[in-house]
Amino acid sequence: MTVASFLAPALLLVLTAQALHVAAKCPFHFGRARVDENVGAVLQAEPRRMLLTFDEAAVQKLDINAVKADLKALFVDSQESWPADFGHYGPLMIRMAWHCAGSYRLSDGRGGCDGARQRFDPERSWADNVNLDKARGLLWPIKQKYGDALSWGDLIILAGDTAIESMGGPILGFCAGRIDDADGAASLPLGPSLDQEMVAPCSVNGECEAPLGASTMSLIYVNPEGPLAVPDPELSAPQIREVFSRMAMNDSETVALIGGGHAFGKTHGACPTGPGPNPMQQPWNPWPGTCGEGPMKGKGNNTFTSGFEGPWTTNPIRWDNEYFVNLLKYDWKVYVGPGGHHQWEPVLKEDADPEDDLPDIIMLTTDVALLKDPIYLELVKLFAANQTALDIAFSHAWYKLVTRDMGPYSRCLGDQVPPPQPFQAPLPPPPAKIPDYKAVTKAITKALRVISPALPYDPVNGKPYYGALFATLAWQCASSFRQTDYTGGCNGARIRLAPQKDWPQNVAMDKVLKVLEPIKDSFPGLTYADLIVLAGNTALTDAKAKGMRFCGGRSDADSDEPPVTVTPQRVFNDKLVQLKDNAIVMGLTFREAVALKAMIRSPSQQQRLGYSGSWTDNPTRLSNEFFKVLLDNDWVNVTSAAGQLEMKAVGKEGVYMMPCDLAIKWDPVFAAIAQEFVTDSTAFYTAFASGWNKMMNADRFKGPAGNECKS
Ligand SMILES: *[C@@H]1O[C@H](CO)[C@@H](O)[C@H](O)[C@H]1NC(C)=O
Ligand SMILES: *[C@@H]1O[C@H](CO)[C@@H](O)[C@H](O)[C@H]1NC(C)=O
Ligand SMILES: *[C@@H]1O[C@H](CO)[C@@H](O)[C@H](O)[C@H]1NC(C)=O
Ligand SMILES: *[C@@H]1O[C@H](CO)[C@@H](O)[C@H](O)[C@H]1NC(C)=O
């Protein structure tokens, strides 16, 4: 569980040193061949997350305690087909839940157990997920019993929660509402796959960098044996910190999770020959095991998952802080275990009573690492001395681990949802008094063409015009939304606050807000969030866009709230990848993403961003002209005075596009859409409105699938 106490070294090798050798032998395998069969499965196709049925009413009616009771009975009913360690499936369920959730990464919000893509490749064949097919198999009768009321995602997490609880551990609550994906496509960027190579490449497997979450392809976090399997705890500690932070975990959460997780269960590595072929290689009998003989081959005491062997505590089916006590009580000596991997055994400290018995437990390099870092060591001491502190830290960190990918509190269902947590970025309720939005719209329309002292105006034909800046502000506010983890968006108007206000792409947005401030002040109950969106809509409608829908009721985040973790849209060297990946992360269709590129642009704002100008000096009208200019001209790379790479129309003065605009022309799928928009302006206006309205309202959650702006 550090998490990969369960990684399979044989498979690790497949992915590293021996990749070519093994690839040549296997008909099915990870790595290039699979990649080639699935060329750009996500990035070339329309960005679509295929979902299975989701019946919100059924989920609301689900008796969660009844499911828990069924799970508890199942945990202690050991089956011959897969005998339970210590007569209890709890630890196996915790590992499954953790590995389902632990794929979450902050960089683009991908991963996590919402979608339950652990059932599909690539995740199901990950080295860290060895034998989790057996765990899901054990849950199948319960899945059948509750049907659509209990998604696989909810069931997997609830099984982990219930396992912790049934062994005496603390649980904060349960946020139901995970919607199952119909395939594993949304996990392709987690790798290994061609999508991952484009979106998040890893040059040295074992030292993979952000935006990847894990250090090692097909593990959840880091190699528990140590970086690149070198059993050096001092090298391991900084890697643990780095990788857990990419998964949104700080030091106390990290230590509580590692030690809390390792309070339960054991590692498995009965022999050095590995677990056998994975589900992709042998779907009819995945991971049959290679240790032992006869009917118990690969099972029970012959199980192979991570290749390490042994428990961390003397009672692996009871919640306590013994793990931390053990870490401190003994010195630890490295040896090679029966699975052929470095692991650590206890030895008596010099000042110990030589008559003391040594318990039959082990530690991994990543466990011993917690003693080698001064901050981690203090936390180990705290949790060894104070069970209550561990209970609090672990229950909160666990809830965050399994819920972080589900977005705000308002997406949670069920009667066991704990109060909003900091990671859910809770907003205050919107003001009770609703302003007269028609009157606000009128005031904004007037402000479009009246000089404001807050910002030297963008003259168009010698007259003031703020429309392009209002639209830009609304877009910058709303386009931080990610459908991958339901974070960001304009609700809360966090573009006013750090860190977003300081993002380079938001330069001068504070001044545009100042232009709008008199309107905010003259309408009690009007929030910045509503005002920003309405100003964008109003500017676009003034510019002849059609079908802008406004749905009020947003609230503003308190300006003294602790900084919320949001990340700007990712920038790629390859602008084709950028356009597609950003669209997918935002939840836009490719048509919508292409249409939105034609948004009215302020030439002065383009200059503030470091470009020489825009493709038109008349941004007062939204039209398909953008695509005509894009397709009908030849473009050359130039560098602006401020050092930005931009594209200049050949033979035209002052006509500029950005490289990501040109990506529309370079990509055949996008170019086809652009051509259609040139010849059919209705198609353009429709796609533009669809994308714009989607982005403005994407964060108005009402349950996992609903939106308060859609009837
Ligand atoms: C880590 O985050 C948790 C939850 O926000 C917080 O309670 C805790 O104090 C943080 N720990 C550190 C070391 O910052
Ligand atoms: C596994 O080994 C332990 C310790 O030797 C033993 O107590 C237990 O009965 C064995 N379990 C099985 C299923 O053989
Ligand atoms: C143990 O930790 C809890 C929770 O942080 C705290 O309230 C309590 O005072 C601590 N107990 C001791 C003895 O330090
Ligand atoms: C122009 O810039 C694009 C985008 O960075 C780059 O891919 C391309 O190679 C450049 N072309 C030339 C001729 O420099």
The CA distance from 315 to 107, in Å, is 38
Q: What is the pLDDT of residues 572-586, one digit of tens each?
A: 999 999 999 999 999
Which one has a higher pLDDT value, 17 or 147? 147
The helix, strand and coil proportions of the chain, stated in percent and rounded to the nearest 5, come to 45, 5, 45
Q: Which residues face 347 on adjacent strands? A: 331
Mean pLDDT of 676-688: 98
β-partners of residue 706 are 702
From the alpha carbon of 386, which atom of ligand 3 is closest? Answer: 1
- Written as six digits, the tokens of 139 are 């849950």
- Each domain of the chain, given as residue ranges in start order, spans 48-200, 437-542
Residue 640 has pLDDT above 70, yes or no: yes
User: Does 48-200 match 437-542 in CATH topology?
Assistant: yes
In this predicted model, what pLDDT tens digit does every residue of 343-385 receive, in sequence order?
Answer: 999 999 999 998 889 999 999 999 999 999 999 999 999 999 9
Identify the pLDDT of residue 501: 96
Question: What mean pLDDT is predicted for residues 494-500?
Answer: 96
Considering only CA atoms, which of 222, 517, 518 is closest in space to residue 370? Answer: 222
Q: Confirm if 678 and 628 have CB atoms less than 8 A apart.
A: yes
Task: Provide the token pair at 605.
Answer: 């704002």
The preferred substitution site among 637, 644, 645, 661 for testing ligand 4, maximizing ligand atoms within 8 Å of CB, is 637
Where does ligand 4 bind, in terms of residues with CB under 6 Å? Answer: 637, 645, 659
CA distance 116 to 661: 35
| Fold category of 437-542 in CATH | Peroxidase; domain 1 (1.10.520)
Average pLDDT over residues 391-395: 98
CA nearest neighbour of 151 among 125, 111, 117: 117
Of all protein residues, whose CA lies closest to atom 1 belonging to ligand 4?
637
> What is the distance in A from the centroid of ligand 4 to the CA of 27?
39
Distance 583 CA to ligand 4 centre (A): 22
Residue among 324, 386, 391 to mutate when testing ligand 3 (max atoms within 8 A of CB): 386
Using a 6 Å cutoff on CB, does residue 300 contact ligand 2? Answer: yes
How far apart are alpha carbons 135 and 6 in whole angstroms?
14
The Cα–Cα gap between 426 and 406 comes to 13
**Of 192, 187, 198, 184, residue with least CA distance to 40:** 198
Please name the residues in contact with 256: beta carbons below 8 A apart, sequence gap of 6 or more. 379, 383, 390, 393, 394, 397
pLDDT computed for residue 28 by the predictor: 31
- For residue 416 and ligand 3, the question of a CB distance below 6 A is answered with no
pLDDT on residue 371: 98
Lowest mean pLDDT among 90-104, 313-327, 607-621, 660-674: 607-621
d(CA 174, CA 165): 12
Cα distances (Å, whole numbers) of residue 633 to 128, 394, 509, 616, 619? 51, 59, 31, 13, 19
DSSP string, 99-116: HHHTT--TTT---SSTT-
Dihedrals φ, ψ of 646, to 5°?
A: -145, 175
- Which atom, in ligand 1's list, is nearest to the CA of 253? 1
The C-alpha angle with vertex 342 and arms to 341 and 344, in degrees rounded to 5, equals 135
Phi, psi for 344 (deg, rounded to 5)? -125, 135
pTM confidence score: 0.93
- Give, using CA atoms, the residue closest to atom 11 of ligand 1: 252
In this predicted model, what pLDDT tens digit does every residue of 214-248 receive, in sequence order? Answer: 999 999 999 999 999 999 999 999 999 999 999 99
Which ligand minimizes its atom distance to the CA of 170? 3
Task: Give the mean pLDDT of the chain.
Answer: 92
Is the predicted pLDDT of residue 66 greater than 60, yes or no?
yes
Does 23 have pLDDT greater than 50? no
Overall average pLDDT of the 530-553 stretch: 97
* Assigned CATH for 48-200: 1.10.520.10
What is residue 424's three-state secondary structure?
A: helix
Catalytic residues: 99
User: What is the Å distance from ligand 2's center to 301 Cα?
Assistant: 6
State the closest ligand 2 atom to the C-alpha of 301, by its place in the atom list counted from 1. 1
Residue 700, pLDDT > 90, answer yes
Say how far apart CA 256 and CA 380 lie, in whole Å.
9
